[in-house]
Structure 1
Amino acid sequence: MLRTLRAEGVGVGCAATDATAPTGLILFEPRLPDVTRVHYYRAGSAGSRPGTAAIERAFATAPPRVLHLTGITPALGPAARATARRALQLARGHGTQVCLDVNFRARLWTADEAGALLRGWLPSVDLLVASDDELPLCLSGPPGGAGEGAARLLDLGVREVVVKHGAAGATAFTGAGSCHRPATPVRAVDPVGAGDAFVAGYLSALLDGADLAGRLARAATTGAFAVASPGDWEGAPTRAELGLLGTPPGTVVR
């Protein structure tokens, strides 16, 4: 895993390993062209019980510009929950922007459990990403639609709310207004990983200084790459490849 990350240009200097726990496993079982079963085997894995030392070392070495958290990590167990909470505290102390992708998984915890924890994190969140059906988890009471729900989150101090609408695209809300981006049309090969790819594109553009429309455009592009490619992350584009989806079918790129 570390070798693969290095090959993709990801810094792993602060990575931690746990020799006393197994590596988590995920299996994908394609059943129909549009249906894939996902099986997780991560109970008791190293990833379910991370310590805070690596997080603290990372912030002490070079505080990141953005901390990205998902709702999956705190659902994995008490250790993962404590480590995510510590990362959130360190981000606030270092002026690091915090992105939270709700990423709710009903197999890991209940909606009530997820909502109670995530709502407690909101005062420290700068950018929140959620699908239409995940947005209510972040609010007490019904959200009343994406626009109303986003407005309530902005009132709570979240600076930017991005709501994913699946095949209908996504909408970003800020105090200055909103911006909608349709999904980039592609031939669907494998939908697994599209949400993570979307957020990766959005944060990449954010770090590059793109405006709201530019961030959504790149997110839609990276999400489309994920849908159009087999595997969870293997089809992720480089910056130089972001324009490939606009090339005519059958084009040979040299």
Structure 2
Amino acid sequence: MIVTSGNTSAPVSSMHLLVVDDDVEITQIFSRYFGSHGFRVSTAGDGVQMRRILDAEPVDLVVLDLGLPGEDGLSLTRHLREHWNGPVIIVTGRGESVDRVVGLELGADDYVTKPFDLRELLARVRSVLRRASAPSKAAPRLTEHDRYAFDGYVLDSHSHNVVGPEGKPLALTSGEFALLRIFVEHANQVLSRDQLMTHIHGRDAGPYDRAIDVQIGRLRRKIEADPADPQRIKSIRGAGYLFSPAVRKI
């Protein structure tokens, strides 16, 4: 179920969205709504069509329903993370919390739960696209505040790039990069789950919302020597998380 609302004024976008859902009526609603807000929308009913579109032309973001028949959305999320580096928003049913968590663990950037208001999805799409903006887009000249160094890592907030101590770039999703950037900008401060969710997703964490915990687990596996005993992203019991390295602007 999708809840439609009155149109809101919005800037025109040139972004290309790919909506993967086997319900033709839903994809038509998506196409009309996002098309009215300036997006170019392609639709696919299954994984075969999804791959064909991704192979044929650039796509800026995929909206993927996990409840697909046959090759399900979780398998397609895994495929996207292994073969495509763009952002993914997964769509789940209200009772599919396990699938939602697994989808986030596989690397989805955000999620919406059915039923949802299309305005909410539009806001999520714009938020994720802002985080995943390509460095080739026109942008202000770099300043000293755009790059941070910690423990041999260098984070460049302008290019959305993180280079490790060995000089190799880290493969981070847009959500993982946004999370690390928040930690770096608030080093040695305890941040609650609600604060992190608000910074990254623009909403508070619900009582059963594990999105931040899942992304922190993924990020720890990429920047911690021992993710089971994290020294950089520390859990503060009853309070949240603390990023412990000394950070300097370069």
By relative contact order (CA 8 Å, sep 6+), the higher-ranking structure is 2
What TM-score do the two structures reach when normalised by structure 2?
0.34
Structure number with the higher helix fraction is 1
What TM-score do the two structures reach when normalised by structure 1?
0.34
